[in-house]
Amino acid sequence: MAEHGNQGGLDLQVSFQTNPSRYRHWKLSFDGELCTLAMDVDEDGGLGDYVLKQNSYDLGVDVELWDAIERIRFGHPETKAVVVTGLKDKVFCAGANIFMLGMSSHAFKVNFCKFTNETRLGIEDASSSSSLRFLAALNGTAAGGGYELALACDEILLLDDASSAISFPEVPLLGVLPGTGGLTRITDKRKVRKDLCDVFSTMAEGVKGKRAVEWKLVDHLAPKSKFNEAVKEKALRLATTSTRPGSKAAGQGVVLEEINCKRDGTSFAYRYVDVIVDPKRRTAEITLKAPFEKEPTKNLRDKGSELWALRAYRELDDAILRLRCQFLEVGLLTLKTQGDAKMLLDAEAALLDAVAAGDWFANEVLQHMKRVLKRVDMTSKTLLALVEPGSCWAGSFVELLLTADRSYLLDDGDRPAVITLSPLSDGPLPMGNGLTRTQTRFYGDAAAVERLRSAMKEQKTFEGLAADKAGLVTFARDDIDYPDEVRLFVEERTSLSPDALTGMEQNLRWPGPETMETRIFGRLSAWQNWIFTRPNSTGEKGALSLYGKPDRPSFDMRRT
Same domain (yes/no): 229, 307: no
Residue at 198 is within a domain: yes
Is pLDDT larger for residue 107 or for residue 378?
378
Please give the tally of structural domains in the chain.
2
- Does residue 62 fall inside a structural domain? yes
- List the single range of 74-78, 245-249, 405-409 with lowest mean pLDDT: 245-249
Give the tens place of pLDDT for each residue, 119-144. Answer: 999 999 999 999 999 999 999 999 99
228 and 309 belong to one structural domain = no
Does position 527 have pLDDT exceeding 80, yes or no? no
Confidence at residue 560, expressed as pLDDT on a 0 to 100 scale: 67
| 306 and 232 inside one domain | no
Q: Is residue 8 part of a domain?
A: no
| 56, 197: one domain | yes
Task: Give the HSE-up count for residue 546: Cα atoms under 13 Å, Cβ half-sphere.
Answer: 16
Per-residue pLDDT at 173 exceeds 70: yes
pLDDT score for 3 = 35
287-317: pLDDT as tens digits: 999 999 999 999 999 999 999 999 999 999 9
**Confidence (pLDDT) at 13:** 66
Q: Which residue has the higher pLDDT, 2 or 221?
A: 221
pLDDT at 9 over 60: no
- Tell me which residue of 84, 82, 113 sits closest to 97, measured CA to CA: 113
- Least confident range from 4-8, 165-169, 360-364, 457-461: namely 4-8
Residue 461 lies in a domain: yes
Q: Which of 496, 512, 547 is the last residue of a domain?
A: 496
What CATH number did the domain enclosing 206 receive?
3.90.226.10
Q: Write the pLDDT tens digit of every residue in 430-446.
A: 999 999 999 999 999 99
DSSP 189: I
Instruction: Identify the pLDDT of residue 520.
Output: 87
**Does 8 have pLDDT greater than 70?**
no
Q: Are residues 59 and 198 in the same domain?
A: yes
pLDDT greater than 80 at residue 523: no
> Is 70 exceeded by the pLDDT of residue 522?
yes
Cβ atoms of 408 and 474 within 8 Å: the answer is yes
34-39/81-86 β-pairing? parallel
DSSP summary character for residue 411: -
- What pLDDT is recorded for position 12? 56
217 shares its domain with 131: yes
**Do both 229 and 270 map to the same domain?**
no
Domain's final residue, options 225, 248, 271:
248
* 96 occurs within a structural domain: yes
286 within a domain of the structure (yes/no): yes
**462 is in which domain, residue-wise?**
262-496
Q: Please check whether residues 267 and 345 belong to one and the same domain.
A: yes
Angle at 409 between CA 341 and CA 396, to 5 degrees: 35
- Say what the pLDDT of residue 311 is: 98
H or E segment to which residue 82 belongs: strand 81-86
pLDDT average, residue stretch 535-544: 84
Q: Tell me the mean pLDDT in the region 185-210.
A: 95
Average pLDDT over residues 470-478: 96
- So what's the pLDDT on residue 92? 98
| 7-21, 144-158, 160-174: the lowest-pLDDT one | 7-21
- Of 224, 304, 212, the residue nearest 257 (C-alpha): 304
Which one-letter amino acid corresponds to residue 533? T
Domain membership of residue 360 (yes or no) is yes
Residue 63 lies in a domain: yes
| Mean pLDDT of all residues in 67-75 | 98
Per-residue pLDDT for 79 more than 80?
Answer: yes
Please check whether residues 343 and 378 belong to one and the same domain: yes
- Determine the average pLDDT of the residues in 413-442: 95
For the chain, percent of residues with pLDDT exceeding 70: 97
Helix (H) or strand (E) holding 462: strand 461-463
Statement to judge: residues 491 and 374 lie in one domain: yes
Residues 297 and 238 both lie in one domain? no
| Residue 519 half-sphere exposure toward CB, CA atoms < 13 A | 14
Q: How far is the C-alpha of 256 from the C-alpha of 305, rounded, in Å?
A: 5
- Does 234 lie in the same domain as 169? yes
- Domain-ending residue, one of 248, 278, 308: 248
